[in-house]
Chain A
Amino acid sequence: MEIEVKEKNENEMIFILSDVDVAFANAIRRIGMMEVPKIAIEHVNIIKNSSAMFDEVLAHRLGLVPIVSDNEAIEALISNEDCDCKDDVNNTNGYCSKCSVSFTLIKNTPGVVYSKDLHSNDPKIKPVYDTIPLLKLKDDQEVELEAVAIIGKGKDHAKWMPTTVCTYKQYPVITFNDEKELSNDVVEACPNNILKLNKKTKEPTVQNIEDCTLCKFCVRTSENKAIDVGYEENKIIFKIETDGSMTPKEVLLKVCDVLNSKADRFIEFF
């Protein structure tokens, strides 16, 4: 298997996998969306809320706020599922300081309340963005609450999904029939403008072939079958975009960890 990174920035990574099965890429995709652990607000204890927003609407909004969950931030936390605080008779909360992070939100001045007003008890774990509007307060209205964030997985709720886009497509191959002439309509049919026609020689060329979505608009427009769009069987373009809570590289490495531990269960069994 060969990997070539095409584009990479803080929240987005596009890479090309060669010599892999679609099934393998699909395993990466599904684990990347559903089984990479991430932290999100799960319990909200509302002490005061005299704003126009209902308690449950506010709690739902808080849950969706992305919270920094890279390795460095959450390595000290243990998963709520594995924590022994659930067996503790004196603890009726369902969480404890070992498996959760607490945020406080206290505001009584009129104006918009932003995610930066959420104060965490762990300086490393904080909302990714400071500018998310949560609710509005008018004169004499106040809000006071405690929000508890725990580690979870995307299969339980979308707020625990580290990736917003986690997709792949097969590498496109465009072939021209040299004996037939390609009309200008076919070139213009492409929604991503990847086809070009040389005006003098009438010779078609392809640019940025990775932008081809395999929509086959060009094939359907071409009446004389001068163009065909196919794909390479074992070459895949993969795209990962995260919500900012961790880098795409870290998501990919955690996917490998999860896949590994799943396979380990067979090794342990036999």
Chain B
Amino acid sequence: MIPIRCMSCGKPISAHFDEFESRKADGEDPKDIFEDMNIKRYCCRRMFITHVEVWE
């Protein structure tokens, strides 16, 4: 499960995770998705792009 907040700055990033995953699966560039969702800092962005879902 993705952490609720960004570990560095505390922004509640998990609220955007499902949207990010579905848009990425549709072939959109992650950079464009982040800009659209107003996630600017690299600390928040790494939470999405380095996340590995192990709960199955």
Contact = CB atoms under 8 A, between A and B. Distances in A.
Q: In terms of DSSP, what is the predominant structure of the interface of chain B?
A: loop
Contact of B55 (A52, A115, A132): A52
Interface of B: 1-2, 4-6, 9-12, 14-19, 55
Given A66-B12, A133-B18, 8 more contacts: A130-B15, A131-B16, A131-B17, A132-B12, A132-B15, A243-B5, A243-B10, A244-B12
Contacts, number: 47
Interface string A41-66: 00000000000110000000100111
| Closest 6 A/B residue pairs (Cβ) | A129-B15, A64-B4, A164-B10, A164-B11, A131-B15, A132-B15
A83 interface: no
A90 B16 CA distance: 43
Contact of B10 (A131, A132, A161): A161
A64 B5 contact: yes
A29 B23 CA distance: 36
Contacts of A169: none
Interface in A158-192: 158, 161, 164-165
Contact of B4 (A52, A61, A130, A244): A61
A132 B1 contact: no
A136 interface: yes
Contacts of B6: 164
A128 interface: yes
